[in-house]
Structure formats: structure tokens, C-alpha cells
A = this chain, B = another copy of it.
Amino acid sequence: MRKVNVFNNVSLDGFFTDAKGDMSWAHKQDEEWNAFASANASGNGELLFGRVTYDLMAAFWPTLQAAKMLPKVAAGMNAMRKTVFSRTLDTVSWQNTVLMKGDLVTEVMRMKRQPGPDIVILGSGSIVSQLTQARLIDGYQLVLNPIVVGRGRSLFETVVDTFNLTLTRTQSFRNGNVVLWYEMA
């Protein structure tokens, strides 16, 4: 079975976007952080998005600006296999992307049984929340940013039952980020 892992930035008050849907507060870049992000994006995983995150990513990573700013991450993001779940999109233009219109939980259960690399979800709070509730997420890699954003959206907004995770690793960075690796307990 392939694993499904979440990789997301979160604020100290538990939000992955602020009240305006902005995630740019998460990008406190320095050499150490960029090296970590590049290594992280150079894996051979497959990416999974909701439509909102897909639109953000597809508007940035294929551009010349992205290639100049973060060449290794951009090359990795463009080359990876990507799946976007959307009821409203008709076509997708970002290379190596598949558009899925079926039921999220059913489709992800099917994807997990297929051969292939592990699946990584970036952003996509609604998808993380639904798959968490369905217990289909195997691991959460959370980048805890040293910021309070006040209002925003949680990765766990539709989760109704308390559940425990197992901490497997942590790493602190000079920019104040702490990366936390959890697995389902």
C-alpha cells in the first residue's frame, strides 16, 4: 500500500492559511531552509491537491520567476506526477497533472492500492481534513512557523473526534521554523 503524507506549514495558532487565504507568511527563506526545502521536493513522490492549492501552485511553479527563485524546487514540482481533485475544473494545464472528479475518499483508497511512490498532499486543507476524518493519512509533516496569524483555516476543520499521533522526528531551523514528523498512532 502506498502511503499518503501531508506536508504543510502551520502557524502557532494552528492555521495553514490566514483569514484571506494567504500562505505567504510561511516563506521565511534563508540558505539553511532553502536547502531543506529543495531536498524535500526532490523526492520521487506523487503530489495530491485540492483545486484552490492547485491553482496557486500551477500559477507559480511553471514560471520563469519560480525557476530563478528556487530552481531545484521548481524543477522537482514540475516533474512530479500530480493529481488534483476538483468538481469545477474542466482541464489542467500544468505538466504531469491528472484531474480527478470522483469521490475523494473512494479515489484515494484506490490510489493507495495502486503501485507507485508515496503520495504527498501540499496545502489543500479541505482534502487533508476529509482524509484525516476517513483515517487515510499515514503521516503529517508539519512546519511550525514562529508566527501568530489570528484568524485562518485549520487542516483539521472537519475533524470531530480527538485522535493521537506519534511523534517520530523534529528538526529546528535558524529561521524559527520547527519541522515535526508525526505518524498515525
Contact = CB atoms under 8 A, between A and B. Distances in A.
A96 interface: no
B166 A170 contact: no
- Copies of this chain, count: 2
Nearest to A183: B146
Interface in A92-138: 132
A46 interface: no
Given A132-B148, A142-B12, A154-B14, A170 B178 contact: yes
A15 B12 CA distance: 10
Interface of A: 10-15, 18, 25, 132, 140, 142, 144, 146-151, 154-156, 159-167, 170, 172, 176-178, 180, 182, 185
Contacts of A167: 146, 172, 176-178
A170 B12 CA distance: 14
A160 B176 CA distance: 22
